[in-house]
Structure formats: structure tokens, C-alpha cells
Amino acid sequence: MKAALIEAWRAELQIRLDRVTRTQDEARSATRVDGSHRPANRGERAAVTSAGYLAHGLGQRAAELAEALRLLDEMGAGVRERVVVGAVVELSDGWVGVFPGGDATVLTVEGAEVRVLSGRAPLVQAIWNLEEGDEGRLRLPTGVRELEILRVL
């Protein structure tokens, strides 16, 4: 299950990176100012400037996604004994994958729904470095949630 989950997350990150890169290219093309293609008024100049800011922001997002892919490759698929980056954890109420770039996306792998979270996610922080059989506590505005770790892969 773990290898399939890693591959599914890698594919999702790659799709996102490709989409962001295409959108960034479109935004860059909207900033082109040359020859007869020049903004005629303040509104058009503002649109060109906005497209430039958008292209810049999309470039930053593309760099984040590329870094998440790089870290995912470095992470490896080995079994973890504790909740750390690279662990797939079965909790009493579902599965969690702790992977670079995790953002609470739910992937279905081998019939199981797995939430992909980063190591910075509050839920992961509540169970960080714990083992099978341990319990963590997640403080929520509505109270404390007990998190029993059934398995760590």
C-alpha cells in the first residue's frame, strides 16, 4: 500500500506542477510588451503588471512543488517504526500519509482513503514520533481529540 500511495502522491504533485507551469507561461505571455503590442491606457498597463505578479507567484508555487517532488524522492519507501516523514499511519478513524508537500488531499489507494499531510500539520504534530499502540492528543477549538495509532508503515 505504501509504495502505491507514494506513487499516487508523486503523480498528483507532477500534475499540479505541470498545471502551474502552463498557467505561469500563459501569465508571462500576457506581460509581453513590444512593437505594436503595447498597453494603450492605465487599465491595460495594470493588467500587464498584474499578469507579471501572477507569473511570479506561480513561479514560486512551481518551485515549492518541484521541491516537494525532490524531497519525496529522497524520502524513500522504507518502513517507519515511528510517525515521521515517510510514515503511513493507521489511526482509529482512518489513514494518514506524512509526505513532503502534504496538504490534506485524500487519495484512494488499494481501497483505503488516505489523507496526505505534511510534517507541519497539527494532526501530525500531535502524533509526531509516536509508535504503534501509542496515543496522541490533538487540541481543537471544540475540545481534545484522542488519536490512537493502530499501525505505522
Structural contact between residues 116 and 97, judged by C-beta atoms closer than 8 angstroms: yes
Percentage of the residues of the chain whose pLDDT score is greater than 90: 79
Give yes or no: residues 7 and 70 share one domain.
yes
Q: Could you tell me the strand order of the sheet in which 103-109 lies?
A: 103-109, 112-117, 94-98, 88-91, 143-152, 135-140
- What's the grid cell of residue 53? 505578479
Tell me whether residue 80 is in a domain.
no
Tell me whether residue 10 is in a domain.
yes
128 vs 93, 138, 153, CA distance in Å? 17, 11, 14
Looking at the structure of the chain, the number of domains it has is: 2
Distance in angstroms (rounded) separating the CA atoms of residues 17 and 64: 9
Distance in angstroms (rounded) separating the CA atoms of residues 124 and 109: 20
Q: Which residue type does 43 have?
A: G
pLDDT for the residue 27: 87
Give yes or no: residues 56 and 103 share one domain.
no
Can you give the pTM of this predicted structure?
0.88
Distance in angstroms (rounded) separating the CA atoms of residues 85 and 74: 11
91 vs 27, 84, 114, 131, 141, CA distance in Å? 43, 14, 11, 11, 21
- Residue-wise pLDDT for 83-92, tens only, equals 999 999 999 9
Give yes or no: residues 97 and 142 share one domain.
yes
Full residue range of the structural domain in which residue 105 is found:
88-152
Q: What is the largest CA-CA distance in the chain?
A: 69
Q: Which residue type does 21 have?
A: T
- Residue-wise pLDDT for 88-124, tens only, equals 999 999 999 999 999 999 999 999 999 999 999 999 9
The band of 31, judged by pLDDT with boundaries at 50, 70 and 90, is confident
